[in-house]
Amino acid sequence: MSSPFSLAGKCALVTGAGSGIGQAIAELFARVGAFVWVADVNEAGAQETVAHIRAAQGTAEFLRLDVASDADFTSALARVPAVDVLVCNAGIGQVGTLLTTSVADLERLFAVNVYGVFRTMKTWMPGMVERGRGSVVVLASTAGLEGLVDRFGYSVSKHAVVGMTRCAALDHARTGVRVNCLCPGRVETPFVKSRLREYPDPEAAYREMCSTQAQARMGRPEEIAAAALFLASDEAGFVTGAALAVDGGWTAGMFPQR
């Protein structure tokens, strides 16, 4: 019997694995035995992830993949014809209300956050269905479960991702393929850290971001990766169509300091 949450002998592909949550997922999956395809348009970041994995005695390869490019998926499928675990993590953000969000803004968000997830699943899920097994983990957001102020386009795109997850799960529930999504709250990623540097007082902005959380802190990429491992593993065999909030209590209810 294999160890709990083991991915030994499995092939995993993680998009957006060059930094942040995607990097943490790729590194954790490799530690528990998976061969990991580190997919990203950012080669430098992805190669860094591969180096980390190999330094820890794991196995991984870089795969260049722009999830907004049909051509990239054609070449990626030729190189990686089959996977056991698929993590659709690549995504982008945007600040704005309905009135300040342009059509171009929305198209850019959908190209990556929605169509990128759609392309990724369309590329590798047919092989999973044919083999009668597989797990797909999509990175959504708490913004896909509720509205967020000044995040109109981002929230709309993540609501679409949650809906896509649920529909795909139901469509393929009897094929042996499971489809779930994670809905992280605010996570201390390189992207968030870079945004903090834009404030006049980054330390004060950091404290403010933490104070709005029920646990008085942001999440860590490693904590999201652990939830992704559960959904990817055989231990989650009866879990499909789920939108799992990993948010430190954000969606549990209105927090007084929010």
Which residues are tagged catalytic? 154
Instruction: Let me know: does 39 contact 46? Beta carbons within 8 Å.
Output: yes
Structure tokens at 121: 């699943």
Q: Cα–Cα distance between 108 and 113 in angstroms, integer?
A: 9
Closest of 70, 66, 61 to residue 12, by C-alpha:
61
Q: To which H or E segment does residue 63 belong?
A: strand 59-64
Give me the phi and psi of 187, to 5 degrees please: -120, 140
Instruction: Let me know: does 184 contact 142? Beta carbons within 8 Å.
Output: yes
Structure tokens at 84: 């056991």
CB atoms within 10 A of CB 165: 27
Instruction: Let me know: does 232 contact 135? Beta carbons within 8 Å.
Output: yes
Q: Cα–Cα distance between 228 and 219 in angstroms, integer?
A: 14
**DSSP labels, 83-121:** -SEEEE-------B-TTT--HHHHHHHIIIIIHHHHHHH
